[in-house]
Structure 1
Amino acid sequence: MHREDEPASVSAALAQQIRQDIAAAGGWWPFDRFMAAALYMPGLGYYAHGGVKFGWSPESGSDFVTAPEISPLFGHTVAVQVAQVLDATGLAEVVEFGAGTGALAQQLLEALGDRCARYTIVELSASLRQRQQQRLAAFGERVRWVDALPEGIEGVVVGNEVLDAMPVQLLHWDGTQWLERGVAVDEWKFVFADRPTELRPPVEGPFVPGTVTEIHPQARAFIATLAEKLQRGAAFFIDYGFPEAEYYHPQRHGGTLMCHRAHQADTDPLSDVGLKDITAHVDFTGIALAGQDAGLDVLGYTSQGHFLMNCGLAERLAQAGVRERTMAQKLMQEHEMGELFKVIGFGRGLPEGFDPIGFVHGDRSHRL
């Protein structure tokens, strides 16, 4: 079989397996189960097979680009916040969840130097883990890979574009009742199918009839699990999203579910299953509440642009070349990643009066 045929064959095998599983479940799956299979089914899901995901252009075979690939200044600047926590606590471990190509890990390790004695990557994808191991080989035994969050974490947890890839449930308001939108099979095609449900969005509305939106129990459960593991230190998550008042605004009646393939976006997660990323924006209010309810302190919440500026990106740009400055501007500019992407920080057992540098100016915690 030619290598270029592999993705199509993987997609066909994945679709067939999902059809069988839906049939075995009585003909209907909730959407979060479908999304989990499409992204993570071993050997077949989007993040589980060997296709290229991250890169600058469709010509590379990639589907999207993330901040660490845009400029190494991203990780070097985030490292300022990580270093502040490590220095204040005397800790020396960084834990990254979902490390992609390993670009952020490389940048953090370069910038932190001896401050980071151990860098732990929680990676579920065997193909991405292999790519990371090649990229990070020079750092030797300082880097280790695990399949789940360590039992006890003392250090700094980082996650860039992790929460948006966690499966979501879909809700549909038909004007009189809430329905859960799931997936069924019609003549071999996947189709949406709605069922009455007791599930509700976290706000009362009003909602426009025909509204479809998401709720995020898996992301909230992940934060709660992290809180159980984080004994001392901090966690920082960088992702695109909104506080719940914006997330569930009546004008956002189509929800935020989006697919990415070959640097193009579409809104049909039921086609080309396994060949494209499926994401939803993050409800940062829900994430903050999940952390608080589990005993974590919310250290701050702000835009990526503000966070990077607080950590000294402007000073780094002043010393950079023209091309490097141009690329790094995308990380801060409002019409690029600077405003859509947000940063939320959690802490436990930090020194009294600790003031995280990333949220010194422009903290929006009051909007959550």
Structure 2
Amino acid sequence: MWLTWREATERALYGEGGFYLRERPSGHFRTSPSASPVFAEALLCALTKVDTALGSPPVLDLVDIGAGEGGLSAAMLALAPEVLRARLRVTAVDLAPRPEELAEEIAWAPAVPYGVSGLVVANEWLDNVPVDVVEQTARGPRLVLVDERGAERLGPAPSADDLAWLARWWPVGPVGARAEIGRPRDQAWAAVIGAMSRGLAIAIDYAHSAGERPARGTLMGYRDGTAVPPVPDGLCDITAHVALDACAEAGRRAGAVSTRLTGQREALLALGVTGARPPIEQARTDPRAYLRALARASQEAELIDPGGLGGFGWLSQWR
């Protein structure tokens, strides 16, 4: 059966027996939260800044979208000082079943609750919001259709709304060039901003921006820690990089009052993650502390390495 890439990905990832309803993400790819607890510490710093900006309300929300196994939510909750933890209302958002080992204080929900006041974090979520793929032909862009084995053929023209999105955000190049229609991601992010009453929302993903879109798109598959062909058979993750600039505009239309687009390196540096090595003299005066500091510096360096995890894009918007 031939489906658009959006339809096929939706079925493969979230349909009955789909990849994300069956598999633990940690078994297939490395993320910033799983790489080091330093990432949770940095986001806890961001949460503290949000708390101060909101005047330390009696209830402060922390919402983790695309929570997976709930590791980021759990780590931030565990690291929070008691005075903050007592006011925290933590919600992990995911379509997968609730992990049995997750702390009782963390609510589990299929969607962002309405009226959030605090910090919303969507780490590698938008890249798993399925999108359609188009290819340029002599008659204009055509949807790429795919079957369960990954074979492709060209289908009809995209809808008028999708053609308008392409014209604004990803003009398709010469014949043979491809693009991914990010409109579903714009809508998903706008819904996040719309669900907030006040606070900060952060989307973290591999991204690209206008004028620098990949000529053949970014559709990829992952399984067991390895990049594989994107086959929508439910046996691998299917992902595509995110047009965060388009999501930012959708967030503004949904009510965001300020926007910041940065790379993860810049964002984490601002939150105190520097990767600085401890002074060598400490190796003589306190060798154990030196080794601990050296290990932390290595973890920080991985998180801000522009050729790795530091290459993620960060979209931060206040409501």
Q: Same fold by TM (over 0.5)?
A: yes
The secondary structure found in structure 2 opposite 1:334 is coil
| 2:250 is aligned with 1:290 | yes
| 2:21 is aligned with 1:48 | yes
Q: Say whether the 8 Å CA contact 2:275–2:297 is kept in structure 1.
A: no
* Deviation (angstroms), 1:197: 1.1
The secondary structure found in structure 2 opposite 1:148 is coil
The secondary structure found in structure 1 opposite 2:143 is strand
Partner of 1:264: 226
Q: Which runs of 5+ in 1 are unaligned?
A: 1-21, 23-27, 55-61, 349-368
TM-score, normalization by structure 2: 0.86
Partner of 1:342: 313
* Deviation (angstroms), 1:203: 4.2
Compared CA separation, residues 146 and 45, structure 1 to 2 (3 A):
same
Q: Which amino acid aligns with 1:33?
A: E
Partner of 1:219: 185
Q: Say whether the 8 Å CA contact 2:124–2:204 is kept in structure 1.
A: yes
* Deviation (angstroms), 1:306: 0.8
Q: Say whether the 8 Å CA contact 2:34–2:71 is kept in structure 1.
A: yes
Q: Say whether the 8 Å CA contact 1:165–1:279 is kept in structure 2.
A: yes
Matches within 5 A, 1:129-140: 129-130=98-99, 133-134=100-101, 136-137=102-103, 140=104
Partner of 1:254: 216
Q: Which amino acid aligns with 1:335?
A: G
Partner of 2:96: 125
Compared CA separation, residues 78 and 317, structure 1 to 2 (3 A):
farther
Partner of 2:286: none
**Between Structure 1 and Structure 2, how many residues are aligned?**
295
TM-score, normalization by structure 1: 0.75
Q: Take 1:231 and 1:282, find their aligned partners in 2: how far apart are those partners?
A: 25
Matches within 5 A, 1:1-368: 22=1, 28-42=2-16, 44-49=17-22, 51-54=23-26, 62-89=27-54, 90-91=56-57, 92-113=60-81, 114-116=83-85, 117-126=88-97, 129-130=98-99, 133-134=100-101, 136-137=102-103, 140-141=104-105, 143-184=106-147, 189-198=149-158, 199-200=162-163, 201=166, 202-203=168-169, 205=171, 207-247=173-213, 252-270=214-232, 273-314=233-274, 318=278, 320-338=292-310, 340-348=311-319
Q: Take 1:48 and 1:205, find their aligned partners in 2: how far apart are those partners?
A: 34
Q: Which amino acid aligns with 1:123?
A: D
* Deviation (angstroms), 1:224: 1.7
Compared CA separation, residues 148 and 203, structure 1 to 2 (3 A):
closer
Q: Cα RMSD (Å) of the superposition? A: 2.1
Compared CA separation, residues 316 and 73, structure 1 to 2 (3 A):
farther
* Deviation (angstroms), 1:87: 1.7
Q: Say whether the 8 Å CA contact 1:244–1:284 is kept in structure 2.
A: no
1:311-359 Cα distance to aligned partner (Å, 9 max, x none): 0012886584323322331111122221x201111111xxxxxxxxxxx
* Deviation (angstroms), 1:275: 1.4
* Deviation (angstroms), 1:301: 1.2
Compared CA separation, residues 69 and 181, structure 1 to 2 (3 A):
same
1:134-156 Cα distance to aligned partner (Å, 9 max, x none): 1x42xx43x21122221221121
Compared CA separation, residues 183 and 107, structure 1 to 2 (3 A):
same
